[in-house]
């Protein structure tokens, strides 16, 4: 337990410094041997990782030439665009036909002023 702090500052210390006991030579040798083992394990792990990466790079498939695939995709895209345009054209044409058909089916309502020519016919 450390001594209680003094109320007034002092320039001298009441405790003496004791030298810390240094580890023995055998303890240092054991610590270095453990470090060497850890470094060797890390080195072997790194070599194993590099070997796996090399295998992955070697087994990677060679990219194929996509020019023919792109050409076919362009053809499909243009065909789809034509189908869409035709569908829009047919839809527009059908809408016009439906409007015309409704107009021809609807009976024409004549206004009184259009059907009568004189005032006497209004009272009939």
Tens-place pLDDT, residues 100-114: 888 887 665 555 555
Helices then strands, each counted (H, E), the chain: 3, 0
Round to whole Å and give the CA distance between 116 and 49: 103
Q: What pLDDT does residue 90 have? A: 84
pLDDT tens digits for 3-49? 666 555 556 656 777 888 888 999 999 999 999 999 999 999 999 99
Domains in the chain: boundaries? 24-60, 63-104
Round to whole Å and give the CA distance between 119 and 112: 11
Instruction: With beta carbons less than 8 A apart as the criterion, state whether 3 and 14 touch.
Output: yes
Round to whole Å and give the CA distance between 46 and 58: 18
């Amino acid at each position: 337990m450390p001594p209680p702090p003094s109320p007034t500052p002092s320039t001298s210390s009441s405790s003496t410094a004791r030298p810390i006991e240094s580890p023995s030579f055998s303890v240092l040798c054991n610590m270095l041997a453990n470090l060497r083992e850890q470094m060797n394990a890390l080195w072997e792990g790194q070599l194993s990782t590099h070997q796996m990466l090399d295998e992955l790079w070697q087994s990677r498939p060679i990219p194929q030439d996509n020019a023919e695939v792109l050409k076919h995709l362009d053809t499909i895209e243009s065909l789809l665009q034509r189908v869409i345009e035709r569908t829009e054209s047919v839809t527009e044409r059908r809408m016009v036909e439906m409007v015309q058909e409704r107009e021809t089916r609807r009976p024409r309502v004549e206004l009184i002023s259009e059907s009568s020519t004189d005032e006497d016919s209004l009272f009939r």
